[in-house]
């Protein structure tokens, strides 16, 4: 990874930006790093209600897509001056659930100028905890962090900046309001049904969280901040308690309709999803026996910024995750390192002609090399297929779904015949990814003897449909098995229209 320039004291970095495409609203933060700390310079938020546009078949309707793209086009104007590597855009629960969302993601990238990453519920929880922890004073206590979003609720237990227990539940202020208060009426029966269903969602995790215990409870994001603001006006308190929740419940039941809610502290655009969010929060406090909750402004987008800053300062969570997997699955790290070095050497020689100059290309190839034998811990037979399954389905901290699928595709294709069905193996449609796969395959072949001796420099030239490999002649002459392996490899690649020529140097 290219070394990030060091900053003198007080010097500002290039601007960073984080976009959270949530189920209820889209948020963008633009910030600068000063002395290693995030300094926010701009915040933009728009209510989009993406979850309202998701039908029972899991499809986004045209109106929701149009509204979302219009918002993103406005956000894109603010992002134009920013470098691609300094921006992260993530989609959460609604985009996780949406079927056939590829076209929307392509349209979103076109108007933003930056790709949208879909993150798992676990990764969302990790980033929320990171954002909350950086917003609080570090007093070494154990925290329970609660974030009620539009379509999901995250509960994270941790200490300092390290989460220990994370859950993402399928309930949120938009989905619950839509399910239980869709006609706008706020009745005791509807509120009771909403809290009861939330309790059902909480039941599988209730015992684990209670057993683990915590010192303080912190709430994040719009629902909890709105509840705190409303209670401050009603009671003058700064914390959220069961008694306060009960008073708010009675207040909105007396009001009777979401359109008539005029509580100070509850923004107008949040009023029609307020009852659903309040019901979810009431169920959480009851199920976990929480007596008091403090609210904070830190949340997912702040966590994204901290994670982005960490990537620039050699604290990349993804690297830590990959290293952890090499240990967990007993990978021969010495051999993997040699494959990685050779693969990256080949990449450096063809990066310009093959348009593989982005940092994400280099990282994908490096991680795939590190993990190409992960499937051996299951079985040597078909280990490349086992490896793909693991990397596609493991919860990998720091990785978005697309970031996981790329090294997974490389591992699946690093040996033997390449998959031929583009519908079953979408990597075949991604020219850049296929080129990374080809480089990994060559590096693996060159190291098939697993010799610990240093690999001499191997020359590499490439055209669109041709690779010319130039290992030292003396080195190759001493390895007849490697010559046979390279001949076999040329046959595999010919089947996909790629010519491999060996021209010893």
CA distances from 41 to 12, 17, 152, 157, 357 (A): 12, 10, 28, 30, 30
pLDDT class of 2 with cuts at 50, 70, 90: very low
User: Please, what is the angle between helix 359-371 and helix 401-412, to 10°?
Assistant: 50
Q: What pTM, to 2 d.p., does this model score?
A: 0.78
Q: What is the 3-state secondary structure (H, E, C) of 302-352?
A: HHHHHHHHHHHCCCCHHHHHHHHHHHHCCCCHHHHHHHHHHHHHHHHHHCC
- Starting at the edge strand found earlier in the chain, the sheet holding 153-159 runs 162-169, 153-159, 142-148, 216-220, 294-296
pLDDT in tens, 257-289: 999 998 888 888 899 999 999 999 999 999 999
Quick: pLDDT tens for 180-193: 999 999 999 999 99
- Residue 317's pLDDT is 84
3-state DSSP assignment of residue 153: strand
Give me the mean pLDDT over the 440-452 stretch.
94
Could you give all domains of the chain from N- to C-terminal order, each with its CATH number? Answer: 16-119+303-309 (3.30.420.40), 122-301 (3.30.420.150), 316-454 (1.10.3210.10)
Distance CA 322, CA 326 (A): 6
């Amino acid at each position: 990874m290219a070394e990030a320039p060091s900053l003198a004291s007080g010097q500002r970095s290039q601007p960073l930006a984080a976009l959270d495409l949530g189920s209820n609203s889209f948020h963008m933060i633009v910030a600068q790093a000063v002395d290693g700390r995030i300094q926010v310079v701009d915040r933009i938020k728009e209510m989009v209600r993406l979850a309202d546009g998701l039908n029972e078949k899991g499809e986004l309707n045209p109106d929701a897509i149009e509204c979302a793209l219009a918002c993103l086009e406005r956000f894109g104007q603010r992002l134009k001056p920013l470098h691609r590597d300094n921006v992260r855009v993530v989609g959460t629960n609604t985009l996780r659930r949406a079927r056939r969302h590829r076209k929307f993601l392509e349209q979103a990238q076109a108007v933003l100028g930056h790709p949208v990453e879909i993150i798992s519920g676990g990764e969302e929880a990790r980033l929320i905890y990171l954002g909350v922890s950086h917003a609080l004073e570090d007093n070494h206590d154990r925290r329970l962090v609660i974030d009620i979003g539009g379509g999901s609720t995250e509960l994270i237990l941790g200490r300092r900046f390290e989460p220990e227990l994370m859950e993402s539940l399928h309930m949120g202020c938009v989905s619950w309001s839509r399910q239980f208060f869709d006609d706008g009426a706020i009745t005791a029966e509807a509120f009771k049904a909403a809290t009861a269903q939330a309790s059902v969602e909480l039941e599988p995790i209730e015992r684990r969280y209670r057993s683990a215990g915590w010192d303080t409870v912190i709430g994040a994001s719009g629902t909890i901040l709105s509840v705190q603001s409303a209670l401050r006006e009603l009671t003058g308190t700064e914390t959220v308690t069961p008694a306060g929740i009960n008073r708010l419940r009675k207040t909105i039941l007396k009001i009777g309709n979401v359109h008539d809610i005029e509580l100070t502290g509850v923004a107008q655009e949040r009023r029609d999803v307020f009852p659903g969010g309040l019901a979810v929060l009431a169920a959480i406090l009851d199920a976990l026996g929480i007596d008091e909750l403090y609210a904070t402004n830190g949340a997912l987008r702040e966590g994204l910024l901290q994670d982005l800053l960490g990537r620039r300062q050699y604290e990349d969570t993804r690297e830590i995750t990959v290293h952890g997997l090499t240990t967990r699955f007993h990978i021969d790290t010495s051999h993997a390192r040699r494959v990685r070095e050779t693969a990256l050497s080949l990449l450096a020689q063809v990066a310009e002609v093959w348009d593989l100059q982005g940092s994400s290309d280099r990282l994908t190839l490096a991680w795939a090399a590190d993990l190409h034998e992960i499937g051996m811990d299951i079985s040597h037979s078909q280990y490349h297929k086992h490896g793909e399954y693991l990397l596609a389905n493991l919860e990998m901290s720091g990785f978005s779904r697309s970031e996981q699928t790329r090294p997974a595709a490389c591992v699946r294709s690093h040996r033997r015949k390449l998959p031929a069905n583009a519908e079953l193996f979408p990597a075949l449609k991604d020219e850049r990814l296929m080129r990374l796969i080809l480089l990994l395959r060559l590096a693996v072949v060159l190291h098939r003897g697993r010799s610990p001796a240093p690999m001499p420099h191997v020359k590499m030239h490439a055209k669109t449909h041709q690779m010319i490999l130039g290992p030292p002649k003396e080195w190759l002459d001493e390895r007849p098995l490697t010559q046979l392996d390279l001949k076999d490899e040329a046959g595999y690649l010919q089947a996909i229209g790629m010519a491999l020529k060996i021209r010893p140097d």
